[in-house]
Amino acid sequence: TGKSVADPNKTGKSSRNVVRFHPVLPEKFEANKFLELMV
């Protein structure tokens, strides 16, 4: 799901959270889990 999360077009409103985690590459994995919980 890494690519899906990277795509703001597909994530929609989730893109805001993605942008927040974008600068944090090392925590990308944790960010994905966090996004899944929010979704």
Using a cut of 0.75, tell me whether the model's pTM lies above it.
Answer: no
What is the percent of the chain with per-residue pLDDT over 70, rounded to a whole number? 10
Q: Cα(35)–Cα(4) distance, rounded to whole angstroms?
A: 11
Q: Once rounded to an integer, what is the mean pLDDT over residues 16-26? A: 54
Identify the band that residue 36 occupies on the pLDDT scale cut at 50, 70 and 90: confident
More confident of the two residues 11 and 38 = 38
What whole-number distance in Å separates Cα of residue 39 and Cα of residue 30?
A: 14
Q: Could you list the residue range(s) of the whole structural domain that residue 33 is in?
A: 2-38
- Distance, C-alpha 9 to centroid of its chain: 12
**Residue carrying structure tokens 């409103």:** 13
Q: Which residue has the higher pLDDT, 5 or 36?
A: 36
Per the structure, the count of domains in the chain is 1
